[in-house]
Amino acid sequence: MHLLLADLILATHALFVAFVVLGLVAVLLGKYRRWGWVRNLWFRSAHLVAIGIVMAESWFGLACPLTEWESRSREAAGGAAYSGSFIRHWLHQILFYDFDPWAFTVAYTVFGILTLLAWLLVPPEHPRNKN
């Protein structure tokens, strides 16, 4: 059961990363493709908060709670290695790299600044202003 929980946490982590990365790509592409949904205030606010949390964790040297929960679940399952399921192996290959922590802090901060710039370049619309 712990291994299944660890895999579910890993999949959730991958979806969170996809939301942050692909959300910015969608906003910038949507500006030029005239996709109205990329100006949705709820979507944009959630996206900004998501990258803000990542930046704050990095600045304060905090581990991502999803990473912590996954690790604890894997340990509770007997310290299973990543040679298990295909999904677990490849999601780890995509999400985790072997760089110094400062490189992640810089990357997250730059990505956060780009997200703020996108907020200014493609401002979200408040639902009441849609007439």
Instruction: Provide the residue ranges of all domains of the chain, joining segments of one domain with +.
Output: 2-129
Look at residue 97 in the predicted model and tell me its pLDDT: 66
Look at residue 131 in the predicted model and tell me its pLDDT: 54
Give dist(CA 79, CA 82) in Å, integer.
10
Look at residue 90 in the predicted model and tell me its pLDDT: 60
Could you state, in chain order, the average pLDDT of each consecutive group of 10 residues for the chain (131 residues)? 88 92 96 95 97 94 85 79 50 69 87 96 82 54
- The pTM of the full predicted model, rounded to 2 decimals, is 0.81
Look at residue 86 in the predicted model and tell me its pLDDT: 45
- 19, 50, 57, 63, 78 from 16: Cα distances, Å: 5, 8, 15, 15, 26
Look at residue 112 in the predicted model and tell me its pLDDT: 95
Give dist(CA 28, CA 112) in Å, integer.
14
